Amino acid sequence: MGMTITEKILAAKSGKEEVKGGDFVLARTDLVLANDITAPLAITEFRRLGSGVFDRSRIALVPDHFTPNKDIKSAGQSKLMREFAREHGIEHYYEVGRMGIEHALLPEAGLVAPGELIIGADSHTCTYGALGAFSTGVGSTDAGMAFATGDVWLRVPESMKFIFSGKLPEWVSGKDLILSVIGDIGVDGALYKAMEFTGPVIERLSMDGRLTMCNMAIEAGGKNGIIAPDAVTREYVKGRVKRKYVEYASDSNAAYASVKEYDVSDWEPVVALPHLPSNVKRVSEVKDMRVDQAVIGSCTNGRMEDLRTAAKILKGRKAAETVRVIVIPGTQAIWKQAVEEGLAEIFVDAGAAFSTPTCGPCLGGHMGVLAKGERSVATTNRNFVGRMGHPESEVVLAGPAVAAASAIAGRIAHPEEVL
């Protein structure tokens, strides 16, 4: 029996010729990540070991959740990270003004490559599977141990294959694809499984769209999301990744826990209504649902393709007076490019706040916390109770096209309604 791409990477990283779903391995990491919420605990656990870091070039620390610091406590967390990075000579520490939302920043900076194994003390570390890497979230204690050893203990996940065919309709994006999958299988439908995305639609999907899809694998319970490297991948990593890497692909006779096939030809943009990412409806099915806030950004949809899509809809138009609009680029480079392309001006002219990179409102941190009874449409990845603020507020998940259209309409709206 052959192996899946996930199994091949884990076999290579654990020094084995072959592994299969259910096996336990001790694998060597290529990168260990932590942020301003998870790093302090990881650092505390690391210090208990009394050792040095395994490789100062293979640890990334990114304060992005409460930065720029919102209060004294968050400032203290960032200070702890900063001092740890200086003490151990961590090469990849990214502070305010040089940072980005971690899962947008690391691929952009060339810290992730096909065939690598990345762990991060953040559940959306699964994002990097878009480049053909095995990447997954771990607890802070695991991250702290990996700071010292470079190793991680894993159970090899079984794989689920998702095949997308047909022609992607206008305004339907990677966000709509992954939300539709989660709506189909549920938030535990891929529990501890590798979600492998493939098919003609994926082959034509941009890297930004692929990153969005793999980012939300965790919302279906997935251990990782992954897409085999191809020409799109190679074009993206060219000039970014300076080291050698290995491309893997699933064998034709690899074993899968299940296979799902979708024809997207008649799909339309979708939203996930409160309070689960699986509560998915077509936009045409949602009528008269007002919104008080629109957030365009996050590690899911804060890349250039997302901002261009939103700007295309907002250009020459105004957000409804009842809607607060917040646009958050994923990295400083994206922020700068958005300014150079005139997108920032479009957003500001439409009545939006154009922010420095931050996770901010996605987790109810700052820069857009909701009050009791308020509702936000957001390109973020979770809409659990209280996720963006008050327990009696609501979040509707959407792609950037629907979020921008809804900002103009003052309610959940299809882009065609406002163009």
pLDDT of residue 340: 97
Average pLDDT over residues 218-236: 97
Residue 186 clears pLDDT 90, i.e. is over it: yes
Place of tokens 């990849």: 92
pLDDT of residue 374: 97
Residue 170 clears pLDDT 90, i.e. is over it: yes
Residue 287 clears pLDDT 90, i.e. is over it: no
**Residue 367 resides in a domain:** yes
pLDDT of residue 67: 87
CATH code of residue 386: 3.30.499.10
Q: What's the structural domain count of the chain? A: 2
Average pLDDT over residues 226-246: 96
pLDDT of residue 245: 96
| Same domain for 386 and 304 | yes
Range of the domain at 103: 5-261
| Same domain for 98 and 118 | yes
| Same domain for 192 and 64 | yes
pLDDT of residue 99: 87
Instruction: Give the tens place of pLDDT for each residue, 78-107.
Output: 999 999 999 999 999 998 888 899 999 999
Please give the C-alpha separations between residue 119 and each of 235, 299, 408, in angstroms, as whole numbers.
24, 16, 39
Taking the model in full, what pTM does it have? 0.94
| Same domain for 150 and 59 | yes
Residue 22 clears pLDDT 90, i.e. is over it: yes
| Same domain for 314 and 336 | yes
| Same domain for 357 and 214 | no
Residue 252 clears pLDDT 90, i.e. is over it: yes
Residue 344 clears pLDDT 90, i.e. is over it: yes
pLDDT of residue 1: 80
Q: Percent of the chain beyond pLDDT 70?
A: 100
Instruction: Give the tens place of pLDDT for each residue, 45-57.
Output: 999 998 899 999 9
| Same domain for 300 and 205 | no
